[in-house]
Amino acid sequence: MYQEEEYHTIRIEIFSSPETRDDEVRFIADGIDLIGRHWSEMMGLSPDDVLIEPCRLRGAATPLSVTIARCGCGIKSCASVEVNIQRSQDHVVWECAEYTDTGQPAKLYFPASTYDAEVERALRSRTL
């Protein structure tokens, strides 16, 4: 059984990570850091790994497997979190079959228009 959560807003933020001497991308939904909430042992990917074209965060009608987090040590090959991102006209859904910190797999829902606008904003800000 999935833990299902519906969010109204999403923000893609880039934070400095002094421990790994690089930056990490974090996903903030309704003020909640999704990586911190669901996968507290993990950290965000480098912007060079996720905020690139073609951007898999956009999702598709058929689920796309997208890595959104890496091991807290900073090495993606050590451990990572993958979600299947699928979109419809109204929603974008992140489905993670792996267990989260709550002990259940998760499905996270976002309004498509808000989600799309934020992905495009984050991509544009990387090219400025």
Q: What is the pLDDT of residue 18?
A: 83
- Residues of the chain short of pLDDT 70, as ranges, are 127-128
Domains of the chain, by residue range, sit at 3-127
Written as one string, the DSSP assignment of 58-123 is G-BSS-EEEEEEEETTS-TTT-EEEEEEEE-SSEEEEEE-S--TTSS-EEEEEEHHHHHHHHHHHH
Q: What is the pLDDT of residue 127?
A: 64
Quick check: pTM over 0.75? yes
Query: Is the CB of residue 87 less than 8 Å from the CB of residue 112?
Result: yes
Q: Report which residue type is found at 45.
A: L
Q: What is the pLDDT of residue 44?
A: 96
Q: Give the tens place of pLDDT for each residue, 82-100.
A: 999 999 999 999 999 877 8
